[in-house]
Amino acid sequence: MAKIEFRNVVKRFGDVEVIPDMNLVIEDGEFVALLGPSGCGKSTSLFMLAGIYLPSGGELLFDGHVVNEVEARDRNVGIVFQSYALYPHMSVRDNILFPLRFKKTPRDEALARVKAAADLVRVEELLDRRPSELSGGQQQRVALARALVKEPKLLLLDEPLSNLDASLRLSMRTEIKSLHAQLGVTTVLVTHDQIEATTMADRIICMRAGRIEQVGTPDDLYLKPSSLFVASFIGSPPINLIAGEADGGTVSVNDVRFPVDGASGSVTVGLRPEHLRFSNTGFAGRIAQIEPMGREILYVVETGMGAVRVLEQGSAAGHSTGEEVRIGFQPENSLVFATKGQKLIAGAHVRAPI
């Protein structure tokens, strides 16, 4: 197991600076997710941890030792690639055995460990097959077994679920999480899917354009997003962002006025769809569209500020398209960001207009 530290790590490809200055500590045994849109540097960071890319500057530490120049094969990390990267000409057994070849593990012990790893991810029936004869989910498990067989001190997962169908993704999510609980190995997950990150990781590192935007627990990122970027990235359906002017205790957006505490100037108000409620007070609008999502219903409401999404529990029976409604919310659920700089204004809230 290992504690990981990025100290002012820089990564350049030629003239392109992919990661300008990264600072991060991952505690021993933690499960963290690197979350961000494609091209944000999350996979580059992961490949630096694996030793596939070497940092261009700064220091990368495993348990307090600088590993900048340590080659991939000497780092003792396990990695699962997005495409699984199983060796196509080897049987499943040989695939899982492969990392042990280079550790001079005695044959009997190696085979026993392969068996144990295969049991762990439940692929013991498939040991004699070739990767091309496996389904996506089975390949995924084999890739996990190969990553785990050498008992790595760090497990890296690069978009491991993105090639699986929806139901399999759900069960693999649970399995990976319970594997982590069972083995306690420090795990870094790279994903662009916020649900994957929030459901699996203890902590989320939200990245944007090579920089860390916010580090925190799933709750931190959801309840107190430090910036507009994090607020819009976390949460499904996405947060409603409404730009307006705060002056003399009210935020004016077109003809709608929200009383506000603790903010002035150009602000962006963030209201999550699940925090909005149809009520007798609040701002007015007309239901433009109804999207039933099973347990919940998403309403798209045309208001004086543009379209606002409202997520309501229960059946669609109560409301219909074209209906005039009023929308309210609890002030403590509202988020206020400075439009300039796009940072959260801590402690600032708006109240629903009456």
Partner 1 sequence: MTTTADELTIERRGHARSAARRRTNFVIFLGPAIVLTVLFFVVPVIIDIAVSFTDLSRSLRISEFTTEQYEKVFRTDRRLSQVITLTFIYVFGTLAIFNVTFGLILAITTTAIRKVSGSFFRGVWLLPRMSPSVLYILLWLWAVSPTEAGLVNQVLMQAFGLDAPLDLLTSAPIALIIISNGFIGASMGMIIFTAAIRGIPEHLFHAAAVDGAGTFAKVRFITLPALRWPISFVTIYQTLSLLVSFEYILLLTKGGPFYDTTVYALYVYRRAFESGQYGYGAALALFLIVIGVVVALIGWRFFDMERLLQRPRIEVH
What is the contact surface with partner 1 in residues (CB under 8 A)?
Answer: 47, 50-52, 71-73, 75, 77-79, 81-90, 98-99, 101-103, 131-132, 136, 139, 146, 150, 163
Compute the least distance from the CB of residue 247 to partner 1, in Å. 55
Q: Give me the count of residues in the chain.
A: 354
Cβ atoms < 10 Å from Cβ of 349: 20
Compute the least distance from the CB of residue 18 to partner 1, in Å. 17
- CB-nearer residue toward partner 1: 50 or 287: 50
Q: Which residue has the tokens 């080897």?
A: 90
State both tokens at 156. 């890296």
- CB-nearer residue toward partner 1: 79 or 338: 79
Q: Is 267 exposed, middle or buried (0-12, 13-18, 19+ CB in 10 A)?
A: buried
- CB-nearer residue toward partner 1: 155 or 308: 155
- CB-nearer residue toward partner 1: 156 or 251: 156
Looking at residue 76, its amino acid is: N
- CB-nearer residue toward partner 1: 55 or 131: 131
Q: Smallest Cα–Cα separation from 329: which of 279, 284, 266, 288? A: 279
Compute the least distance from the CB of residue 187 to partner 1, in Å. 15
- CB-nearer residue toward partner 1: 26 or 287: 26
Cα angle 136, 120, 129; round to 5: 45
- CB-nearer residue toward partner 1: 98 or 232: 98
Compute the least distance from the CB of residue 79 to partner 1, in Å. 5
DSSP string over 16-75: EEEEEEEEEEE-TT-EEEEE-STTSSHHHHHHHHHTSS--SEEEEEETTEE-TT--GGGS
β partners of residue 240 = 271
- CB-nearer residue toward partner 1: 138 or 303: 138
Contact (CB, 8 A) for 82 and 163: yes
Q: Smallest Cα–Cα separation from 345: which of 219, 254, 261, 257? A: 261
Compute the least distance from the CB of residue 19 to partner 1, in Å. 18
Q: Which residue has the tokens 């290992």?
A: 2
Q: Which residues, including other chains, have CB under 8 Å from residue 117's CB and lie 6 or more apart?
A: 96, 145, 146, 148, 149
- CB-nearer residue toward partner 1: 97 or 230: 97
How far are the Cα atoms of 48, 147, 242, 342 from residue 267, in angstroms, in the given order?
A: 38, 47, 8, 9
- CB-nearer residue toward partner 1: 121 or 335: 121
Compute the least distance from the CB of residue 72 to partner 1, in Å. 4
Compute the least distance from the CB of residue 88 to partner 1, in Å. 5
Q: Smallest Cα–Cα separation from 269: which of 178, 339, 218, 196? A: 339
Cα angle 137, 76, 215; round to 5: 75
Compute the least distance from the CB of residue 274 to partner 1, in Å. 37
Q: In angstroms, rounded to a whole number, what is the distance separating the alpha carbons of residues 327 and 310?
A: 8
Compute the least distance from the CB of residue 158 to partner 1, in Å. 9
Coil, strand or helix at 237: coil
Compute the least distance from the CB of residue 86 to partner 1, in Å. 6
Contact (CB, 8 A) for 251 and 260: yes
